[in-house]
Chains A and B, each alone.
Chain A
Amino acid sequence: MKAAVIVFPGSNCDRDIALALEQSIGKPTTMLWHQDTNVPDVDLIVVPGGFSYGDYLRCGAMAAHSPIMREVKRRADKGTRVLGICNGFQIITEAGLLPGVLMRNKDLKYVCKDVLVKVEDSQSAFTAKYKVGDVLRIPIGHAEGNYFADEATLKELEDQGRVAFRYCTPTGEITDAANPNGSQHNIAGVFNKARTVLGMMPHPERLADKHLGGTDGRAMFDALVETLA
């Protein structure tokens, strides 16, 4: 599998995701500067977390209009897998690759902690190594992770089974108490229709190494490598 990670001014999880991918792929990942127009032929494009353009306008809004995002959209339309994590999720929703928007957390504060998410779908290259109903421990770190979409969009997402992960209790129940940011339907991650684009607020790369306290995120990268090999 060949993967590329896009680096915007202010990205700060670019090195992290590249390392997690390298661990599963066995070789280094290509880093693409946001002004690069020449995107190599890859199987996976990652839009990483961080604070692109300082989040000074609306999170992800400026990066979404970066020239490279036009190319990312073109590739996504052709089926190249695209993964947006945290600020990357915000960027790809702003760019129209996924529906909805990430609003300010319900309690208005930035929050960094491990959360539990329930796997809702295992029919994608990202989630193939999980089982539906698995409860994963994956960290979040954001101030704007409160997923919102209008009723029609939410119904469409639910009807088409496009919710990838939901915040949950240790036994997999979907409760308000388990929801760290006020997201509708406890949504932590969503797919596009073809399940080739995934946006998620939790950081799977942050728990893919035993020295960091857990490895629940590792299977996502292993699955991508197996599926896209």
Chain B
Amino acid sequence: MNKVSAITPEVIKTHGLSDDEYKRVLEVLGREPNLVELGIFSVMWSEHCSYKSSKKWLKTLPTTAPWVICGPGENAGVIDIGEGLAAIFKMESHNHPSFIEPYQGAATGVGGILRDVFTMGARPIANMNALRFGDPKHPKTRHLVAGVVAGIGGYGNCVGVPTVGGEVNFHASYNGNILVNAMTVGLAQQDKIFYSAAAGAGNPVVYVGSKTGRDGIHGATMASAEFDANSEEKRPTVQVGDPFTEKLLIEACMELMQTDVIQSIQDMGAAGLTSSSFEMASKGGMGVELDMNAVPCREEGMTPYEMMLSESQERMLIILKPGKEDVARKIFEKWELDFAVIGHLTDTGRMVLKFNGETVCDLPIDPLAQASPEYDRPWVPTVKQAALASASVKDVPWPEALKTLMGCPDIASRRWVWEQYDHMVMMDTAQRPGGDAAVVRIHRSNRALAITTDCTPRYVKADPFEGGKQAVAETWRNLTAVGARPLAITDNLNFGNPQKPEIMGQIVEAIKGIGEACKALDYPVISGNVSLYNETDGSPILPTPAIGGVGILDDLDTMATVAFKAEGETLLLIGQTNEKDGWLGQSLYLREIAGQEKGAPPPVDLVHERKSGDVVRSLIRGGKVTACHDLADGGLLVAVTEMALAGNIGCRLENLVAKPGVLFGEDQGRYLVTTKDAGTVEAAAKQAGVSVSRIGATTGKALSFAGQSVELAELRRMHEEWFPAYMAAPK
């Protein structure tokens, strides 16, 4: 046994284990662990790997539907999309590393989520990302935006998977703790899906990909602690990405998966070799014995402790069927990747590691997994805010308010961001960034997947339950707005320190809200990730449960886009606006124009949501509308402007009360459509019991309403100018 380092209270503390958790280690083992074993406990029981604070509540989420092939618990979730195909997807955070080293943090976030998806047998076909940065005025923000965007592009562009969309928001609560959530969607044959549960004592355990280095040791533990002023000293724990190797690894794995040699497979993500070998053995009820001398290492003199805890990227662990080593080896040699048989499965139920002929670790797998902590942390509900009377909000002439909003950091065009991402490679991007949802064709077919990510953190802060519902509903709405049938979501729950009851309250209520929306919309959660302790010096981020939604378009020819198509078409608003005044509480108008963040967020009526969405989808699929856009940040006038700019056709608005709440309120469950046949649209909405009104007609090159008018060229300038100007400003 390794006797180099004594297990002192200081060593236990630096491994992030509480006194209670260490007591539990002693109970499981019946003795003191050595340093290698302590390291393994520390990562397996970290928040990042064990979900110990959130597990109790995550279990309440709906995860099944007839089209769900595999829900949470695997590397990614799997849904049936018909014709023998499956979509495999997940979203995952890389927040802490990206704050410390934005380029590599974001790049390896993309690499990690890609591996989660292709390890299951899916070729990745689309990447998305949900990014949250601090106040644009904060001295670090510009540097972080530049680094994260370059890192996502640098990795995604090189591996040749299109980055087709996402979101970028700014808020001072992220000043010391940005969020980088990356999502990958892949496509697989339903009869060629690979899982991670190990089986077959004696089967070879194979290591493929890059060599193991000293990078990223204890990344999972870092991701499970709060930041402080010294966080940048943790830079050595951020891994470095190698997208070229990842590209080779994708191709090699795809080739291997066409043979019949894999028993199970998992990527080495957080906590690297430890979590992959441990989880595979644990899921299959097996034991595993590894020869640490056989692990391909980048440097000489690496210890088993370092090898087990390294988070070097672009590595996979594979259990082969017996005697298939040569078939597999040939493929990895062709792609010039490391391939090493590093051990075998056993029926002992123990994880045994050998190094230089000595046993350096001997842990019981099942008891360790069973004893994994699960907390019912105390929580308090968020104090609800009273609904804001829209009439009390400052009224600014609409052209002025609209121009301000179109150029504000949260609405301004993201072109500066997505032009740095290859969003067209693979030649299936049918709807590029900038619309309601990205649309990616299913290769060599006329069907497509629609993909979106959404969350409105200011709503979640004000009311976690309604905000959780809203995040789910908005993805459902965005998928609907392109004509897709929403199928399932992945959730990436970013919160502060769960040991604070008010933060735990946000987690609990947001999960309840997400669950309620999923149930009402038949839209289950099939994968996800939890990122806690997003705080710096005790100041938490806005609660940000980012939702990634995926839907299917059965006929690509019926896809809708936001752009106005022709002059002389009728513009209709579908869905209910709150009374006559509109909902301004927690709206962007309130924040950007009136300088306030208050009131209750707009409630989501899920029955209405479903009705209005179903009508819109059937109108799109029936070819009855020529453009469609959902209403979100900035409300009606912002949505109209986005449609007008996309089509470079103006609009004359009418039949609207000239109040800020009507023009800029953020009432939920609403869509704008244009049509040549307003009567049919009205009849369909009325039949479904959904309110509908004609509010204008497409015409000219300006937006006009109530005797005032703004040229599209000016709105376009406001909309396009902010991001490049901000990024070009002197540091």
Question: What residues make up the interface of A, taking CB atoms closer than 8 Å to B?
Answer: 9-10, 12-13, 15-16, 19-20, 49-51, 53-56, 109-113, 139, 141, 203, 205-206, 209, 211-213
Contacts and interface: CB of A to CB of B under 8 A. Distances in A.
A12 B427 contact: no
A211 B424 CA distance: 12
Given A10-B248, A12-B247, A112-B421, A51 B157 contact: yes
B244 A56 contact: yes
B420 A141 contact: no
A109 B420 contact: yes
A112 B420 contact: yes
Given A9-B336, A13-B160, A112 B423 contact: yes
Interface in B424-477: 424-430, 432, 441
Most chain A CB neighbours (cut-off 10 Å) among B157, B243, B427: B427
B420 A54 contact: no
A206 B160 contact: no
Contacts of B432: 213
Most chain A CB neighbours (cut-off 10 Å) among B157, B243, B556: B157
A10 B244 contact: yes
B572 interface: no
Contacts of A141: 157, 422, 424-425
B92 interface: no
B723 interface: no
A146 B480 CA distance: 41
21 contacts: A9-B247, A9-B335, A10-B248, A12-B158, A12-B159, A12-B425, A49-B425, A51-B160, A51-B243, A54-B158, A54-B242, A54-B244, A110-B150, A112-B422, A112-B424, A141-B157, A205-B427, A206-B427, A211-B441, A212-B428, A212-B430
A115 to B, nearest CB: 11
Interface string B397-426: 000000000000000000000111111111
A112 B244 contact: no
Interface string B133-166: 0000000000000000010011001111000000
A111 B160 contact: no
A16 B248 contact: no
A32 to B, nearest CB: 14
Most chain B CB neighbours (cut-off 10 Å) among A15, A20, A49, A112: A112
A20 B428 CA distance: 12
Enumerate the 8 nearest inter-chain pairs by beta-carbon distance, A residue then B residue, closest first.
A12-B160, A54-B244, A51-B158, A16-B427, A141-B422, A112-B422, A206-B424, A211-B430
Interface string B335-356: 1100000000000000000000
Interface string B92-104: 0000000000000
B224 to A, nearest CB: 32
Nearest to B430: A211
Contacts of A51: 157-158, 160, 243-244, 247
Interface of A is mostly: mixed
Contacts of B153: 110
B634 to A, nearest CB: 25
A212 B424 contact: yes
A113 B720 CA distance: 15
Contacts of A56: 244
Nearest to A15: B426
A113 to B, nearest CB: 5
A205 B424 CA distance: 10
B429 A212 contact: yes
Nearest to B335: A9
Interface string B227-245: 0000000000000001111
A51 B429 CA distance: 20
B646 to A, nearest CB: 13
A213 B426 CA distance: 14
Most chain B CB neighbours (cut-off 10 Å) among A49, A111, A139, A212: A212
B641 to A, nearest CB: 22
Given A9-B244, A51-B157, A51-B244, A209 B419 contact: no
Given A10-B244, A54-B242, 8 more contacts: A9-B248, A12-B425, A15-B426, A20-B427, A112-B157, A112-B419, A112-B424, A141-B425
Nearest to B246: A54
B69 to A, nearest CB: 26
A28 to B, nearest CB: 12
Contacts of A9: 244, 247-248, 335-336
B14 to A, nearest CB: 36
B158 A113 contact: no
Given A53-B244, A54-B242, A111-B419, A10 B158 contact: yes
A205 B427 CA distance: 8
Given A54-B244, A211-B441, A110 B420 contact: yes
Contacts of A53: 244
A13 B427 CA distance: 9
A20 B444 CA distance: 12
Contacts of A15: 426-427
A16 B158 contact: no
A57 to B, nearest CB: 11
B706 to A, nearest CB: 34
B122 to A, nearest CB: 16
A211 B160 CA distance: 20
Contacts of B158: 10, 12, 51, 54-55
B447 to A, nearest CB: 11
B378 to A, nearest CB: 48
A92 to B, nearest CB: 20
Contacts of A16: 425-427
B713 to A, nearest CB: 15
B162 to A, nearest CB: 9
A122 to B, nearest CB: 26
Nearest to B242: A54
Contacts of B441: 211
Contact of A209 (B244, B248, B427): B427
A49 to B, nearest CB: 8
Interface string B464-508: 000000000000000000000000000000000000000000000
A10 B251 CA distance: 10
Nearest to B245: A54
Most chain A CB neighbours (cut-off 10 Å) among B154, B157, B335, B424: B424
A19 B443 CA distance: 10
Most chain B CB neighbours (cut-off 10 Å) among A55, A109, A111, A203: A109
Nearest to A11: B160
A211 B426 CA distance: 13
Contacts of B335: 9
Nearest to B423: A112
Nearest to A205: B427
A111 to B, nearest CB: 5
A65 B504 CA distance: 58
A189 B336 CA distance: 33
A139 B248 contact: no
B438 to A, nearest CB: 13
Contacts of A10: 158, 244, 247-248
B244 A110 contact: no
Contacts of A206: 424, 427
A208 to B, nearest CB: 8
Contacts of B420: 109-112
A112 B420 CA distance: 6
Contacts of B418: 112
Contacts of A209: 427
A13 to B, nearest CB: 6
A89 B59 CA distance: 53
Contact of B160 (A50, A139, A203): A50
Contacts of B427: 15-16, 19-20, 205-206, 209, 212
A67 to B, nearest CB: 15
Contacts of B426: 15-16
A63 to B, nearest CB: 12
A211 B443 CA distance: 12
